[in-house]
A and B are shown apart, each in its own frame.
Chain A
Amino acid sequence: MSKPKVAFFDFASCEGCQLCVLDLHPEQLLDLLNVIDIVEFREAISEKADTFDIAIIEGSITRESDIPRLQKIRDKAKILIALGACAHIGGINALKNFQTKDEYQEAVYPTAPQKYETSHARAISEVVQVDAFIPGCPIDTNEFIKVVKNLVLGKKPGLPDYPVCMECKKNENVCVYELGMQCLGPVIRAGCDARCPSNGGYCFGCRGLITEPNLHSQKDIIQKYNLTYEKMMDKFKLFLERNKEVFPK
């Protein structure tokens, strides 16, 4: 098996997902380097690559000028992977899309609002074809390893497509609704080991919706616990602005 060449690229993001990629045990890094050839990873190496087999993209598209750069990467890559919520579903970046461009530009650069190029934040799949994605904000390092390994082995990425609730129950948590909080877990893709609810928080949806979310039932739950529909939709805003099921345009 020849080692696939892997290159990392980033767009608008916090680069936390790339840092998670580096969060490896020493043996894991050595093993990983036996399986793939990292030819470009700006955060950690100086080399730049002209050719690669797998492109791993972090970050969302927020400028028209990002598009040709992304397309070029797509043209060169055999497999293109979206890394993390920003690339996968627009991530936190898309929260600004609820405001007009004027509003957010004005708010941030009041003295020179038009100064910097920007437009609405998008997932990379809205611009180019994406072959696989690794969800989460940030990604789970083990899931990253699993997806890469599976691709090298010629397997499907193998992400779960069921709600966070399942993992939350496996962790024996008391449901956060019982504790008076609201949670998007019932419609969000598992795979994070229900990190947030298991650590005293609630799920705010960073891994995106499952394929067949029952959003109607999610609304009923909100009512049952005397929480408001508006507040629930407000929570969806954090990570799911790009999702047409939640926010039909």
Chain B
Amino acid sequence: MSKDVKIDIQHITRVEGHGNIKIDVQSGELKECKLEIVEAPRFFEAMLKNRHYDESALITSRICGICSVGHVLGSLTASEDAFGIKISEQEKNLRCLMNIGEHYESHVLHIYFLAVPDFAGAKSVLPLVNTHKDVVVRALKLKKLGHEIGNMIGGRLIHPTAMRVKAMTKIPTPEILHDIIHRLEEAKTELKKDIGILKTFIIPNFERETEYISLYKYGEYAFLEGNIYSSDIGETSYKNYLDITNEYLVDHSTAKRAKHNRKSYMVGALARFNNNHQWLSEDAKTIAADLGLKAPCYNPYMITIAQFVELFHLADEGIKAAQSLLDNGVELENRKFTIKPGRGIGAVEVPRGILFHDYVYNDQGYIQKANCIIPTGQNLQNIEDDFRALVPTILDKSKEDISLMLEMLVRAYDPCISCSAHILNVEFE
């Protein structure tokens, strides 16, 4: 089969940030295949220089609106690592709730607003307001739940105001905690209503095995602490994250890319699922089985399903955290500590995958050097490699269909290009 296909998609829609896809097939041979990031670089690591520890989370949360809590968590963890601060159980539970808030907002947005229209054959969620009003209303409510948990616990979800090094500056009342438990239970019931719809999705039958990298803590479906786990080589200390990420630049993208054992690796919900599925909550396991998601899963289009499964696990985790806060009582914690000069690293899972913040502080608590590595940057090469594997198998389709499948693939990764592009690398000796 010899065919010429040239695809140039400017500004892929329904992703965060700006990305273009360029494919050039001549006589059946793939000449060019690129995911371009055309986002303006924002130079966050440069901006962090000489800023006080109290501001590092404030600044880095602005890297990305949708992973804002994730950046805060990564940033606080890095600062705490540098200063040798151990956070309390209470703080862990509160952060867990913030993390759940963010995942609800982000996963729901991705599943319902960005991915569902593809499967429903709609251009966007707006036409669905007329055809599937109940689903849209449910989606908005679930997304709003994420925002509201963020508001109640952290002052607000996007760029939270109450999250600080060592401890929150705000504590929830028992009424709020009861409310959160109640609403997370409700959320599970609501989500179950859409299992049927998800089952009708015809998910492209495309598989490509790759290296799956995620946070790892034995016995936990890890989000907030742990080491790094690679499906190829196993566990590595979070301190050695640079050995994993190996960032490099390519010409056509302002976002840095990463490679480890192979040419590329995958992070995000599917990587987490593949590496940590045994620690999902029982409910989440049942849902996964019901939706045909089995580890290891090599189909990137299934990321959306993995996210859906995570929503159940997270609801269960949130209920546990809130209950523990209720059982043990919540008190405003003392936020005093001594500043220690040195380096600290934070590794956390955000909706799109593992994220690293790495700071060097001076003895006054001002940042001397910073490095932030964002999930999408890590996924970019993997997406391109998926393209390379996918395109030759679908050349018989129309150009429109090919474009749509490629766009859907990019969207499946839920790329938050906006943040990936702003991230830079400062070499550490």
Q: Which residues of chain A have a CB within 8 Å of any CB of chain B?
A: 10-20, 22-26, 29-30, 33, 38, 42-48, 62-63, 66, 91-93, 95-96, 99, 103-105, 107-112, 115-116, 118, 137-138, 195-196, 198-201, 204, 234, 238
A199:B147 contact, CB within 8 angstroms: no
Contact size range, B: 35 or more
Minimum C-beta distance from B105 to chain A (A):
7
Minimum C-beta distance from B141 to chain A (A):
6
Given the contacts A23-B144, A104-B43, A195-B156, A238 and B63 also touching, CB distance less than 8 Å? no
- Name the interface residues of B122-153: CB closer than 8 Å to any CB of A: 123-126, 129, 136-137, 140-141, 143-144, 147
Look across to chain B and name the residue whose beta carbon is closest to the beta carbon of A39: B126
Given the contacts A20-B158, A30-B129, A47 and B124 also touching, CB distance less than 8 Å? yes
One of B11-19, B288-296, B314-322 contacting the partner: B11-19
A selection of 26 A-B contacts at a CB cut-off of 8 Å is: A14-B64, A14-B418, A15-B64, A15-B65, A16-B65, A17-B65, A19-B109, A22-B109, A23-B105, A23-B143, A29-B129, A45-B13, A45-B14, A63-B40, A91-B62, A92-B59, A95-B47, A96-B47, A99-B49, A107-B43, A107-B426, A108-B46, A116-B254, A138-B65, A200-B162, A201-B162
Tell me the complex Cα distance, A99–B51, Å. Answer: 13
A14:B63 contact, CB within 8 angstroms: yes
B155 contact from A13, A18, A42, A196, Cβ within 8 A: A196
Minimum C-beta distance from B175 to chain A (A):
17
Contacts of A13 in B (CB 8 A): 65, 418
Minimum C-beta distance from B167 to chain A (A):
10
B137 contact from A23, A26, A103, Cβ within 8 A: A26
Look across to chain A and name the residue whose beta carbon is closest to the beta carbon of B55: A238
Q: Which residues of chain B have a CB within 8 Å of any CB of chain A?
A: 11, 13-18, 39-47, 49, 52, 55, 58-59, 62-66, 68, 105, 109, 113-114, 117, 123-126, 129, 136-137, 140-141, 143-144, 147, 154-156, 158-159, 161-162, 164, 168-170, 249, 254, 418-419, 424-427
A46 contact from B14, B18, B62, B144, Cβ within 8 A: B14
Tell me the complex Cα distance, A66–B64, Å. Answer: 20
B158 contact from A19, A46, A234, Cβ within 8 A: A19
Contacts of B124 in A (CB 8 A): 44-47
B249:A16 contact, CB within 8 angstroms: no
Tell me the complex Cα distance, A33–B161, Å. Answer: 31
B425 contact from A18, A110, A118, Cβ within 8 A: A110
Contacts of A26 in B (CB 8 A): 136-137, 140-141
A62:B162 contact, CB within 8 angstroms: no
| 9 A-B pairs with least C-beta separation | A200-B169, A16-B65, A108-B424, A45-B124, A199-B155, A104-B46, A107-B46, A26-B137, A12-B40
Look across to chain A and name the residue whose beta carbon is closest to the beta carbon of B156: A195
Contacts of A22 in B (CB 8 A): 109, 113, 143
Contacts of B418 in A (CB 8 A): 13-15
